Chains A and B, each alone.
Chain A
């Protein structure tokens, strides 16, 4: 029923795969400071990382379930909001992930230069 994927579709799929890990890393990094979903999405967007709501909220829940985030409902501007922040485990893993990121980036730079 569907035609062969076009170059644009292939690129889009690869881009999404490439970004997905980065989005998690960026989210964890931003949550070193406390945020609720709406402001977190804005802060990420301001840093150049656009993320859809339908991706962000389920991801936050998944990360919380894995123990990387802590959350609590609190009232702000006369409305209850769910605030997220990095857990102690999240802090440890974020540091390890950034080390991994640096190593990966360095390796990729070498690979790129080699060509």
Chain B
């Protein structure tokens, strides 16, 4: 699917009800193709991805394009102040619904597993969700303000609307390059740490660390996590070499993050990661406990990061899948 088709699909998603969407999009598509062809004639060559994106950016935000055909979807606004716009609104509602669903399911499980007083517990449980809903709302409002500001600062740029339509975005080189450098550094540090154990901790924590060793359980996860890191490095390297494979990182990163997320609980359950020799000094045992506590905290932190990543990447993948399947349906229908 070309970036033009992605763009038209994004417009389709915002077009109001009652509009002949296929007709509008066919006309817009023809117009944009004519513009691209004219530009190609001027340049005497095919347009690059970024040049195609510039043609689309000149037509504008898919939401604004759709808005010209009638009022687009709902949002939350107080007078002129828009808290959550129509672009973010479906995602916002989806996140709230997901949180509610998780809580309802967990509550139903609790009711069946343990005798929980249903009618007294239910209002309390729902009330406890209120702060979460407020935090989600504030977070979305913050993103809205940030995106709106960036769009106001650069009205002709595409970054503002690309934020909510990530499946339109080609993988930017800076992202891949910085990710490649970061992950390579982490992997190198990892390999160095592993190869120099226990000299590496001793350099950081002093002599007691020499009496520590990595637990046997940890060695199981070591290779898996290292493999995930190497996949990340390879992914970014491929993106740098072949930017046209813009669709590849999102599903692959989703898989990597799901695997990483699935490892969180086993890693936490297999603690301790670091053990002290039975004959070690108390200082070494304290150090082992401290390192284990820190690693557990770090694992929980990464777990949250992976969870958010999985949710975000799943949203992006869903966007891809929805647009690809609707495009395929239209192609099939068109013969």
The SS class assigned to the B binding surface is helix
Q: How far is the CB of A47 from chain B (nearest CB, A)?
A: 19
Chain B residues within 8 Å of A36, by CB: 30
**CB <8 Å contact, A38 and B31:** yes
Q: How far is the CA of A20 from the CA of B237 in the complex (A)?
A: 52
Q: Does B175 make an interface contact (CB < 8 A)?
A: no
Residues of A6-37 contacting chain B, CB below 8 A: 36-37
**CB <8 Å contact, B69 and A81:** no
Q: How far is the CA of A53 from the CA of B28 in the complex (A)?
A: 9
Chain B residues within 8 Å of A58, by CB: 68-69
**CB <8 Å contact, B68 and A38:** no
Chain B residues within 8 Å of A61, by CB: 24, 69
Q: How far is the CB of B315 from chain A (nearest CB, A)?
A: 27
Q: How far is the CB of B224 from chain A (nearest CB, A)?
A: 51
Take A38-B35, A53-B59, A57-B24 as given contacts and tell me if A79 and B68 are in contact as well, using a CB distance cutoff of 8 Å: no
Question: Which of B24, B34, B64, B69 contacts A38, CB < 8 Å?
Answer: B34
Q: Does B110 make an interface contact (CB < 8 A)?
A: no
**CB <8 Å contact, B31 and A54:** no
Q: How far is the CA of A36 from the CA of B35 in the complex (A)?
A: 13
Q: How far is the CA of A81 from the CA of B34 in the complex (A)?
A: 10
Take A38-B30, A38-B34, A82-B30 as given contacts and tell me if A57 and B68 are in contact as well, using a CB distance cutoff of 8 Å: yes
Q: Which chain B residue lies CB-closest to A38? A: B34
Q: How far is the CA of A55 from the CA of B59 in the complex (A)?
A: 11
**CB <8 Å contact, B80 and A1:** yes
Question: Which of B27, B35, B60, B80 contacts A54, CB < 8 Å?
Answer: B60
> How many contacts between A and B, using CB within 8 angstroms?
39
**CB <8 Å contact, B27 and A82:** yes
**CB <8 Å contact, A37 and B80:** no
Q: How far is the CB of B40 from chain A (nearest CB, A)?
A: 14
Q: How far is the CA of A55 from the CA of B81 in the complex (A)?
A: 26
Chain A residues within 8 Å of B327, by CB: none
**CB <8 Å contact, B68 and A37:** no
Q: Does A110 make an interface contact (CB < 8 A)?
A: no
Q: Does B228 make an interface contact (CB < 8 A)?
A: no
The count of residues in chain B whose C-beta lies closer than 8 Å to any C-beta of chain A is 18
Q: Does B33 make an interface contact (CB < 8 A)?
A: yes
Question: Which of B27, B33, B34, B60 contacts A57, CB < 8 Å?
Answer: B27
Q: How far is the CA of A54 from the CA of B59 in the complex (A)?
A: 7
Q: Which chain B residue lies CB-closest to A56? A: B31
Q: How far is the CA of A81 from the CA of B26 in the complex (A)?
A: 8
Q: Does A113 make an interface contact (CB < 8 A)?
A: no
**CB <8 Å contact, B30 and A57:** no
**CB <8 Å contact, A80 and B30:** yes
Q: How far is the CA of A96 from the CA of B90 in the complex (A)?
A: 47
Chain A, residues 39-66, CB within 8 Å of chain B (1/0): the string is: 0000000000000011101100100000
Chain B residues within 8 Å of A109, by CB: none
Most buried by B among A38, A79, A80: A38
Q: How far is the CB of A4 from chain B (nearest CB, A)?
A: 14
Chain A residues within 8 Å of B24, by CB: 57, 61
Q: How far is the CA of A53 from the CA of B69 in the complex (A)?
A: 12
**CB <8 Å contact, A54 and B34:** no
Q: Does B65 make an interface contact (CB < 8 A)?
A: yes
Q: Which chain B residue lies CB-closest to A55? A: B68
Apart from A37-B27, A38-B31, what 8 extra A-B contacts exist at CB < 8 Å? A36-B30, A53-B59, A54-B64, A57-B27, A57-B28, A80-B26, A80-B30, A82-B30
A-B contact pairs, 13 of them (CB 8 A): A1-B80, A2-B80, A37-B30, A38-B30, A53-B28, A53-B59, A54-B59, A57-B27, A57-B68, A58-B68, A73-B26, A79-B33, A82-B26
Question: Across chains A and B, which 3 residue pairs bring their CB atoms closest together, nearest first?
Answer: A38-B34, A54-B68, A58-B68
